A and B are shown apart, each in its own frame.
Chain A
Amino acid sequence: MAAVAIIETSSSHSASGDSDVARAAAGDRGAFERLYRLHVNRVFSLCARMVNDRSRAEELTQDVFVRAWERLTLFRGESSFSTWLHRLTVNVVLNARKSDGRQRSRFEENDDEAGGMDVYAGVVGMPLPPGDLLDLEDAITRLPPGARRVFVLHDVEGYKHEEIADMLGVTSGATKAQLHRARLLLRESLNR
């Protein structure tokens, strides 16, 4: 009985969301605001975990919804709106990363791509202060940027290696290596 109730709730929720998508695509800002309310936390979560900066993540979240509004008429309904919005979020974050990356110093770029644990020894390798318990969320923020992005996209968001490789412009072998590295670093952090 409970299962039926859940399905009904979910179904009506989805139908409502679908009609709001159609209304928003026709220019209804009220409907778009409802879509925002429905999806903002998920979009923000992805942004925050990808960029590791909550203020920046809030800016990017706004960018995502502005972009979604601009591109809503291009949404064909081939996937769910949630999936479409999610992919849009990834694109916005990665594009911002490229643009932010151009402003970073060469040293910082090298840090990002070097990939060795020793690069982050100051963060991951150092003994933590007594009583400082890292949970997974915190540990993710301490990952090197490249490993963090792949981990978030794969293990948190559920993208496949081929998709991530396509998004990041690298090989799937590289994303597998980054993912494994991220997992080992997280394990190390969590087991301290």
Chain B
Amino acid sequence: MTCDQFADKLPDFLERDVDDATRAGIEAHALSCAECGLLLADLRALRLSAANLPELAPSRDLWSGIAARIETPVVELKNGASTVYQNRGTQRRRGMWIGLAAAGLVAMTATVTHELTKRSIDARSAVVAARTDSVVGTRVAATTKDTGTAARPTVAAPTATLVSAKLSPEQTYDNEIARLRVVVNERRPQLDSVTVVVIEKNLKVIDDAIRQCRQALRKDPNSRFLMESLNDALDNKVQLLRTAATLPSKA
């Protein structure tokens, strides 16, 4: 065997991927050729050293960063923490994922929704306010017949109320959407009819996406992709409703 043949066969030899005759030829050449013999010895030693490299350690404790990322979200799930942890495979993860997004949503939009809702309700009658209550579950103060004062819902509660421990993350989204939906419905007569059609068409598309995500999540509850898609769809719906609620009235 020549040195070139040796070099050519060496990778397979080191992988024990040669027949007996080739193996014998390589070993014989390594014994007879100092340079090739040294190469083989070096590569064998290298392999051994690599397999025994010591473990490396990070320069800092990484746990705090990990713990922060896996921390259970502020938004508690409807059935309480114990149930959540028992059903970790599905509800917990989904709750955690959506919970974080819902908490973010509330933090970002609650004030806006509050103002929009308040503005809308200020302009409405007590009857409308009562209907609002039935739709979104806001607590409406009793109408004072004696004074004739219209009922004013204690609406749009501060963020703390929206992130109530009694609400599941998806309920938080749903409530936020319901509040905005009421505002948009109230504003519908003030908007251009074509604009309303466009809004409704887009809402239908988003609703279809939400429904599909929820259906798919029932089959594959741990899918991060589906959770993200559901979050995106819910966020999109909130954003669209917020935009619609703040559109200028038609001329």
CA distance A183 to B67 in the complex (A): 39
Contact indicator A156/B50 (Cβ below 8 Å): yes
Contact indicator B46/A183 (Cβ below 8 Å): yes
Contact indicator A44/B57 (Cβ below 8 Å): yes
Please pick, from B47, B59, B86, the residue contacting A155 in the complex, using a CB distance under 8 A. Answer: B47
Q: Which residues of A have CB within 8 Å of B63?
A: 33, 36-37, 40
0 or 1 for each of B59-74: is its CB under 8 Å from A? (1 = yes): 1101101110110000
Q: Which residues of A have CB within 8 Å of B92?
A: 27
Please pick, from A40, A42, A137, A179, the residue contacting B62 in the complex, using a CB distance under 8 A. Answer: A40
User: Is A2 close to B, CB under 8 A?
Assistant: no
Q: Which residues of B have CB within 8 Å of A187?
A: 39, 42-43, 46
CA distance A72 to B176 in the complex (A): 32
0 or 1 for each of A46-85: is its CB under 8 Å from B? (1 = yes): 0011000010011001100110011101100000000000
Q: Which residues of A have CB within 8 Å of B34?
A: none
Contact indicator A33/B67 (Cβ below 8 Å): yes
Contact indicator B67/A29 (Cβ below 8 Å): yes
User: Is A110 close to B, CB under 8 A?
Assistant: no
Interface residues of A in 115-163 (CB under 8 A from B): 136-137, 151, 155-156, 158, 161
User: Is A45 close to B, CB under 8 A?
Assistant: yes
Contact indicator A70/B224 (Cβ below 8 Å): yes
0 or 1 for each of B30-54: is its CB under 8 Å from A? (1 = yes): 0000000001001100110111010
Q: Which residues of B have CB within 8 Å of A69?
A: 66, 70
Q: Is the interface of B mostly helix, strand, loop or mixed?
A: helix
**Which range holds the interface residue count of chain B?**
35 or more
Residue of B nearest to A48 (CB): B56
User: Is B89 close to A, CB under 8 A?
Assistant: yes
Knowing A44-B58, A179-B11 are in contact, say whether A62-B69 is a contact too (CB < 8 A): yes
Number of A-B contacts (CB under 8 A): 100
Q: Which residues of A have CB within 8 Å of B59?
A: 54, 58
User: Is A31 close to B, CB under 8 A?
Assistant: no
Residue of B nearest to A190 (CB): B46
0 or 1 for each of A163-192: is its CB under 8 Å from B? (1 = yes): 000000000000011011001001100110
Q: Which residues of B have CB within 8 Å of A15?
A: none
Knowing A27-B85, A73-B89, A187-B39 are in contact, say whether A62-B57 is a contact too (CB < 8 A): no
Contact indicator A70/B93 (Cβ below 8 Å): yes
User: Is A25 close to B, CB under 8 A?
Assistant: yes
Knowing A70-B93, A151-B50 are in contact, say whether A26-B88 is a contact too (CB < 8 A): yes
CA distance A101 to B55 in the complex (A): 27
User: Is A12 close to B, CB under 8 A?
Assistant: no
User: Is B177 close to A, CB under 8 A?
Assistant: no
Knowing A54-B59, A74-B222 are in contact, say whether A183-B43 is a contact too (CB < 8 A): yes
Contact indicator A58/B58 (Cβ below 8 Å): yes
User: Is A41 close to B, CB under 8 A?
Assistant: yes
User: Is B241 close to A, CB under 8 A?
Assistant: no
Knowing A27-B85, A73-B222, A176-B11 are in contact, say whether A156-B39 is a contact too (CB < 8 A): no
Q: List 26 A-B contacts (CB under 8 A).
A: A26-B85, A26-B86, A26-B88, A27-B92, A32-B70, A36-B63, A41-B55, A41-B57, A44-B55, A45-B55, A48-B56, A57-B58, A61-B58, A62-B65, A62-B66, A65-B62, A65-B66, A66-B69, A70-B70, A70-B93, A73-B93, A155-B47, A158-B51, A176-B11, A180-B10, A180-B14
B positions within 8 Å CB-CB of A: 10-12, 14-15, 39, 42-43, 46-47, 49-51, 53, 55-60, 62-63, 65-67, 69-70, 84-86, 88-89, 92-93, 222, 224
A positions within 8 Å CB-CB of B: 25-27, 29, 32-33, 36-37, 40-42, 44-45, 48-49, 54, 57-58, 61-62, 65-66, 69-71, 73-74, 136-137, 151, 155-156, 158, 161, 176-177, 179-180, 183, 186-187, 190-191
